Structure 1
Amino acid sequence: MPSPLPSRASAAGPVPGRYDRFLILGAVCLAGLVLPLSFTAPPVAIPAIAAELGGSPVALNWMTNAFMLAFGSCLMAAGTLADTYGRKRVFSIGIVAYAIVSLLLALAPSLAVLNGLRIAQGVAAALALAGGNAALSQEFHGPARIRAFSLLGTAFGLGLAFGPSLAGWLVQTQGWRSVFLSSLAIALLATVFGVPRMRESRDPDAAGLDWRGSLSSTAMLALLTIGVLEAPERGWSDGWVIAALIGSAALLALFVRVETRAARPMLDLSLLKYPRFVGAQLLPIGTGFCYLALIIVLPVRLIGIHGLSALNAGLMMIALSAPMLVVPFLAAVLSHRIAAGTLCAAALLLAAAGLVWLGVEAAAGSVHGLIAPMLLIGAGSAVPWGLMDGLAISVVPKERAGMAAGVFGASRVSGEGIALAITAAALAGLLQLRLSSAIGVDGATLTQAAQRLATGDAARAQALLPQLDAAALVHSYDAAFAWLMYGLAGLTAAIAGVVFALLGDASAHEPAALAEPARDDRIELADEPAC
């Protein structure tokens, strides 16, 4: 396949020096750290928020769901905005708006106001992430780019992994409002140190925002997110869940129809012909099954089922998260000798082996025996986590970097949400099978008990099933948890095989040759104001 023509970049301002580029990278990585913190940290503050502001369980859960809904559904449109109106401008608007909304969240007088602000925070986060990723791809090239995106992936993973621990400490020592003030502080650092040093860049061929494509894609992703978020609680057969998923499928068909007819679509559907582009979108789904799902279900098992304190459970979870501090950098070094796609596939297989090991230990009722397989899973997950952002950007021509960042962000959020929903539904289903075989009956009470046990509420589950003692409930949970691990291992291994087939020789060092032979792969650079 022919390579794209060399970039004829022009800049009205000076090229940032090494120190300025380092600050730009630091600013985008701070954004990459604070955005997942916004997803994982606030749920820890729910009890404290409920004590002060009140609210039903459903309303309290929407404090998390509102952010995820807005964030996931706006990412693709945000990427198009970055390509059209400038990556620096979109990042600047997003990170400043994120800081302002974080301050307002810390001052929220009611739960209704807080949930509304969480929607605004999700939109701002989408702008910051899509604009920041695209801007980063313009400042770093060759081996430096893969190192930069490895650091960004590490920051994202650390935000997911350590967000609950940070939030727990803040809530306990400073109150729940300090959780949002910490996000404000990090966003201000990113704004002050990064934005003034960025150069503006955009797609020179952009013909304005594809409004029909943007609206249909945002609505499609919103309905998909609603269906995925509500399915574990309502059930997959619930009317609202089915309606949301059907509506999402219909809007997807509309989106494809709109994009195939648009002169300058927000998503170039012809990119789906390229295996590398498709393979890059599968990586966050793989890490969703082998890593992110464990961040959710492991604390439930450790605290709710085996009675560990929150502090001890948090210390054990470090085994899963600690590899994120080191492994992405090692992966960046190895990628100079081994293709990044091959590394990612091999690492996912390593994580799958760790999941099998974790299942064996769980079936035996072990607690501390989980530490070694957690380290193996964390190490295997950290490789694609550190490389997949760079791969997602590198497999498209540089002038569509914002589009690539938006598509990959939407794929990541949607894929991870689906992975979490499947994991939650599978655990509840496996628990229902184990409990049914233990007592020999089935029914609504058993279903409710299984759902309670899946969320770590062993006391309520035992109250619903008095014929089972606490030891029998724990044994049933451990057996179901083990089979869940085996299932996640199988899914992770299958994704690893597909990733290797599609992405095996792909490198995150240089852009793939996806452009037409006669296409001018230009990047317009202008030293323009941020906003």
Structure 2
Amino acid sequence: MPRPRLLLTVILLAQFVIPLSISGTAVALPTIAGELGSDPTPLQWVVNGFNVAFAICTIAWGVWSDKIGYTRSFQIGIVIAAAGGAISAFAPTIGLLDAGRVIAGIGSAAVLTGAAPILSHLFQGKAKAQAFALFGTINGLGLAAGPALSGLLLSAWGWRGIFAAHTIVLLVALIGTVRLPLLGRGGTSLRETLDFSALKAPGFLAMTLVPVAGAIGFVTFLTYLPSALGAIHGLAAGTTGILMLVMTIPVLIAPIIVHRILERTRITPTAMVVTSFACLLLGGTGVLLLLRPDLPVMAGVAPMILLGLGFGLPLGFVDAEALAAVPAERAGAASGVINLFRIGSEAVFVAVYATILTTVITAALPGKVGELIATGGAGEPSIYRDGLVVAAGAMIALVVAAGVAFLVFSRSASKSAAATQDQTAMKA
């Protein structure tokens, strides 16, 4: 069997397509609308079809993978996701494109639920925690780079090139899976599956809220800011993709800086998480206030940087902190749970944001024009901004709620830890 790290590369390659699909597809909506039609419901399902199917099928695949085996479910998931990508790339109608995105979402759910137990088997101890941390980091980087990469692919090969690229990456990963050991039914037995009892630990639950807040306060903006920039400022998709690097670069840099800060100072991970919540709130509020047709596009750059920092600051340590709150023998199962919440919340809240945005815009501007504006078309910047204000405002409120919950559970975890230390001292 090849070295585990080579197999990790295969798993991460397949996983990388999931965040690209979540955050990058919306960049192409105006172009797709021009070719296949601008009816808002089927058009939004180009994004939501993947997200909803992925979120719903994640739980189902968790059960099925126990029956057919984790490696087989992982391989089947890649095949289904690649088939969905191919259907999407060659779809002649918006209905068939939606079907392709739903199929891709179903397959991607199997990829995720199969990957976690495979990683649990391939790695042990610190190596397992590092592998799952890298798994989460790759997801974050894929999300951050999604709009920029999709914008470049859109400029070079059109919207079909985005889905063709997804398919190619998945096929390469599929070739690599032939060297994976058979795990689960018919192969090596794994005791660790998704075990939600980890959520009973307040420290684990607090850290699980961090990627959920990132999904609400960063991924939703990352996914639909390209459309907003096109609708409000008339920017072309290629230009928008480049501008989105303003949000991507902080995500790449922040984990490195945070690692050094935590190593060399007395700043705690909890304090860093609080800082990240503050960045998400300030950045989201800044985008809401400054992304307007009467202000230059550069007015939104500083809030975009803050959003990137808000997402990137905890990226390198949140998994390790979450796993530290549960017994070591349950680390694999707990890792599966936090990644399920991470990616599932991204899919769900991107769909919620899109629904709110489209509802507000088409209510104010019924008909084909409103449908086109809802996908990021130019012509009615003020109306698009009205939809942005409602959708973004809802996300900001949810980030506040998540932040309050994080503080409550963190305080509960600290009290429990202090009580345990006191009991240990008394026994000594």
Q: What TM-score range do you get, normalising by the shorter chain? A: 0.7 to 0.9
Gaps of 5+ in 1: 1-13, 207-265, 433-443, 462-472, 508-512, 514-531
Tell me the residue number matched to 2:77. Answer: 94
Rounded to whole Å, the distance in 2 between the matches of 1:203 and 1:393 is 23
Alignment of 1:274 onto 2:201: yes
Rounded to whole Å, the distance in 1 between the matches of 2:56 and 2:6 is 29
Tell me the residue number matched to 1:354. Answer: 283
Q: 2:150 aligns with which of 167, 170, 175?
A: 167
Tell me the residue number matched to 2:406. Answer: 499
Rounded to whole Å, the distance in 1 between the matches of 2:378 and 2:203 is 45
Q: How does 1:4-403 map to 2 (within 5 A)?
A: 20-46=3-29, 56-82=39-65, 86-108=69-91, 111-141=94-124, 144-193=127-176, 196=179, 200=183, 204=190, 270-331=197-258, 340=269, 342-359=271-288, 361-362=290-291, 365-389=295-319
CA distance 1:203–1:503, change in 2 (3 Å) = farther
Rounded to whole Å, the distance in 1 between the matches of 2:168 and 2:221 is 29
CA distance 1:80–1:385, change in 2 (3 Å) = farther
CA distance 1:51–1:358, change in 2 (3 Å) = closer
CA displacement 1:413-433 (0-9 Å, x = unmatched): 55335544665577689999x
The code of the aligned residue for 2:109 comes to A
Tell me the residue number matched to 1:253. Answer: none
Rounded to whole Å, the distance in 1 between the matches of 2:100 and 2:391 is 36
CA displacement 1:219-250 (0-9 Å, x = unmatched): xxxxxxxxxxxxxxxxxxxxxxxxxxxxxxxx
SS at match of 1:459: coil
The code of the aligned residue for 1:160 comes to L
Greater shift after overlay, 372-381 or 113-122? Answer: 113-122
**TM-score under structure 1 length normalisation:** 0.62
How far does residue 124 in structure 1 lie from its aligned partner after superposition?
Answer: 1.5
Tell me the residue number matched to 1:459. Answer: 379
Rounded to whole Å, the distance in 2 between the matches of 1:295 and 1:72 is 19
The code of the aligned residue for 2:71 comes to K
Rounded to whole Å, the distance in 2 between the matches of 1:400 and 1:80 is 19
The code of the aligned residue for 2:379 comes to A
How far does residue 411 in structure 1 lie from its aligned partner after superposition?
Answer: 3.1
How far does residue 70 in structure 1 lie from its aligned partner after superposition?
Answer: 1.8
Rounded to whole Å, the distance in 2 between the matches of 1:83 and 1:504 is 36
SS at match of 1:325: helix
CA displacement 1:462-503 (0-9 Å, x = unmatched): xxxxxxxxxxx48x948x867976775554344234224424
How far does residue 157 in structure 1 lie from its aligned partner after superposition?
Answer: 2.6
How far does residue 318 in structure 1 lie from its aligned partner after superposition?
Answer: 1.0
Rounded to whole Å, the distance in 2 between the matches of 1:49 and 1:429 is 20
Size of the aligned set, in residue pairs, is 408
The code of the aligned residue for 1:502 comes to F
CA distance 1:79–1:276, change in 2 (3 Å) = farther
Return the index of the structure with the highest Cα Rg. 1
The code of the aligned residue for 2:4 comes to R
SS at match of 1:189: helix
CA distance 1:62–1:352, change in 2 (3 Å) = closer
Rounded to whole Å, the distance in 2 between the matches of 1:136 and 1:22 is 10
Higher normalized contact order (CA 8 Å, seq sep 6+, divided by chain length)? 1
Tell me the residue number matched to 2:341. Answer: 411
Q: Would you tell me which structure has more helix in proportion to its own residues?
A: 2
Rounded to whole Å, the distance in 2 between the matches of 1:54 and 1:446 is 17
Rounded to whole Å, the distance in 1 between the matches of 2:397 and 2:156 is 42
Rounded to whole Å, the distance in 1 between the matches of 2:284 and 2:30 is 31
How far does residue 197 in structure 1 lie from its aligned partner after superposition?
Answer: 5.0
CA distance 1:82–1:339, change in 2 (3 Å) = farther
CA displacement 1:55-100 (0-9 Å, x = unmatched): 9543343333322222111112333445565443332332244334
**Percent identical across equivalent pairs?**
33
How far does residue 287 in structure 1 lie from its aligned partner after superposition?
Answer: 0.8
Query: CA-atom RMSD, angstroms?
Result: 4.4
The code of the aligned residue for 2:226 comes to P
CA distance 1:393–1:485, change in 2 (3 Å) = same
The code of the aligned residue for 1:498 comes to A
Rounded to whole Å, the distance in 2 between the matches of 1:451 and 1:109 is 20
Rounded to whole Å, the distance in 1 between the matches of 2:271 and 2:121 is 25
Greater shift after overlay, 174-183 or 135-144? Answer: 135-144
The code of the aligned residue for 1:372 comes to A
Tell me the residue number matched to 1:222. Answer: none
Q: How does 1:469-488 map to 2 (within 5 A)?
A: 473=382, 477=385, 488=395
Gaps of 5+ in 2: 415-419, 421-428
SS at match of 1:365: coil
The code of the aligned residue for 1:378 comes to G
2:150 touches 2:241 (CA, 8 Å); kept in 1? no
How far does residue 128 in structure 1 lie from its aligned partner after superposition?
Answer: 1.0
The code of the aligned residue for 2:50 comes to F
1:95 touches 1:187 (CA, 8 Å); kept in 2? yes
